[in-house]
Amino acid sequence: MDFGYPQNLSPEILKLYITQEGVRSPFSSKPAEKPVPNATLQVTGAVGWRREGLVYKKNEVFLDIIESVNLLMSSKGSVLRCDVTGKILMKCFLSGMPDLKLGLNDKIGLEKESEIKSRPTKSGKTIELDDVTFHQCVNLTRFNSEKTVSFVPPDGEFELMKYRITEGVNLPFRVLPTIKELGRTRMEVNVKVKSVFGAKMFALGVVVKVPVPKQTAKTSFQVTSGRAKYNPAIDCLVWKIRKFPGQTEPTLSAEVELISTITEKKSWTRPPIQMEFQVPMFTASGLRVRFLKVWERSGYNTVEWVRYITKAGSYEIRC
């Protein structure tokens, strides 16, 4: 604090002031166990978010690419609105002061790399990142000139970057609904959900919420996979599939009986079908980590782990 104003709010530095040990009595004859790391030195140092002298037996880096897909699809199957928001989370257990360099398959970065190395880029899927925000540790001058993400990482877990993508989104699921209103007291609901990702992959915790009118009295189901039930609290047929393999098309058929009311003159508005899911090792944006290089003076070997997860954000299909 400087005249009561906080000068640094970095969690890595603030953690140094919060000690978990008990207070030592001045009458205790035992010497102090270990010196408290000098926080002032860290604040004034070049790398404020990482302290010197960290040592790990096993040097590891964990990289998680977590994406949320937002979709609004018309009842005819055309995409009205679609985007992906993603974040790269890192967990670093590295000794010393390592310098990391991350390579992604983004279009601008690959073009810049081919300019510097004066050779054409390999033809693979490239993506265009729309909005990118970085953690304070990323060297922005180097990113602007070379388009590479280079940084000295904080110790432990942190969010390296956030991004958004609006073009060329790979949708994990396609939903084909047909809802027929048979008179005033009956409805037929047929929903087919197709998984578009690879056959070797699978989605977890898939939930499809199919809306029905408020005056629903009775429902009967047939599903080719998972379980379905009517939830009157949210006026939806809730269809749950615990493990959903790629390239499959499970269907739900339901008959809905309605209470005929005189007061209910308004026609049913048909809210959209909503989906929840999680697809490991799949990215809706097509983002891929091409490389993660670690340099450190002592030249130790590191183990890198990369994981991809795609979740549902607002995934809605009009019916």
> What pLDDT shows up at residue 123?
46
Beta-strand (E) ranges in 113-250? 131-134, 149-151, 156-165, 173-182, 186-195, 202-211, 216-223, 227-231, 236-245
> What pLDDT shows up at residue 171?
94
Confidence at 313, pLDDT banded by 50, 70, 90: very high
pLDDT digits (tens, 9 = 90+) for 208-264: 999 999 989 999 999 999 999 999 999 999 999 999 999 999 999 999 999 877 665
Q: Calculate ∠ Cα 47-49-50, nearest 5°.
A: 75
Of the chain, the percentage scoring pLDDT greater than 70 comes to 84
Say which DSSP state 75 is in.
T
Q: Structure pTM?
A: 0.80
Q: Calculate ∠ Cα 130-64-197, nearest 5°.
A: 75
Helix (H) or strand (E) holding 11: helix 11-17
- What is the pLDDT of the chain when averaged over all its residues? 87
For residue 37, pLDDT over 80 is answered with no
pLDDT digits (tens, 9 = 90+) for 49-94: 888 889 999 999 999 999 999 999 998 889 999 999 999 999 999 9
pLDDT digits (tens, 9 = 90+) for 83-113: 999 999 999 999 999 999 999 988 776 676 6
Distance CA 208, CA 280 (A): 18
- 8 A C-beta contact, residue 27 and residue 62: no
